[in-house]
Chains A and B, each alone.
Chain A
């Protein structure tokens, strides 16, 4: 079945570091991918929509300069948390759906980001 691979699964780094998270669709093409953030015991919150070959669309309140998104191919989107601070610590999850349509959206296994 359709698989979305997210890497790394866990990152621990110092404040001020930039962290890149990759999201790949393994057996389908996805012109559009999505990035979510999830705090403990809370639901997923959409951060941005990643579009292959064009700029990402950010949800209200999400800083585009803090969360850089690059969607360079039909199977890869990256989220870079720039100059990360402790308040950026969270669980980040990506998702994608097959461009051919008719399929449910599939999610990566998430990245646990901890900023010290």
Chain B
């Protein structure tokens, strides 16, 4: 599975937009990009998934350039409750036989 690189930590303030970029230089043709959010003492929670260009849902947007070697998770107007660790994962969207490999993630701290 493609290895990912993310910033270890980021700081922001309430109401700001936060963009977390993930590098995945050796992404394969059939790989998708998935982002998870994890709060302390909880399991990771699915945020968004995409293959190319832009994907948007009710909580975030995911921007993927044409070469797909990186992706950016965009969180609009963050609040204190968005303080969490965010993981970027890359892998095929198959029938679920393969586990996800987690990198170090990005620890986002949102200040008042």
Q: A residues near B, CB below 8 A?
A: 4, 6, 30-32, 34, 36, 43-46, 49, 91, 93-110, 112
Q: Are A107 and B44 in contact (CB under 8 A)?
A: yes
A40 to B96, CA, bound (A): 27
Nearest residue, chain B, Cβ from A91: B41
Given A44-B102, A107-B43, A109-B42, A102 and B87 contact (CB-CB distance below 8 Å): no
- Cβ contacts under 8 Å, A31 to chain B: 95-97
- Cβ contacts under 8 Å, B93 to chain A: 101-103
A-B contact pairs, 10 of them (CB 8 A): A6-B43, A31-B96, A95-B100, A99-B95, A99-B96, A101-B93, A101-B96, A104-B49, A105-B34, A107-B36
Q: Are B99 and A106 in contact (CB under 8 A)?
A: no
Q: Are A95 and B49 in contact (CB under 8 A)?
A: no
Given A101-B94, A104-B49, A34 and B42 contact (CB-CB distance below 8 Å): no
- Nearest-Cβ distance from residue A97 to partner chain B, whole angstroms: 3
B68-112 interface with A by 8 A CB criterion: 87, 93-97, 99-105
Q: Are A104 and B46 in contact (CB under 8 A)?
A: yes
Q: B residues near A, CB below 8 A?
A: 34, 36, 41-46, 49, 87, 93-97, 99-105
Apart from A43-B87, A46-B99: 17 A-B pairs, beta carbons within 8 A = A6-B43, A31-B96, A31-B97, A34-B99, A93-B43, A95-B43, A95-B44, A95-B99, A98-B96, A99-B95, A103-B93, A104-B49, A105-B34, A105-B46, A106-B46, A107-B36, A109-B42
5 residue pairs, one from A and one from B, having the closest CB atoms: A97-B96, A107-B43, A101-B95, A44-B102, A34-B99
From A43, A100, A112, give the contact of B41 (CB < 8 A): A112
- Nearest-Cβ distance from residue B30 to partner chain A, whole angstroms: 12
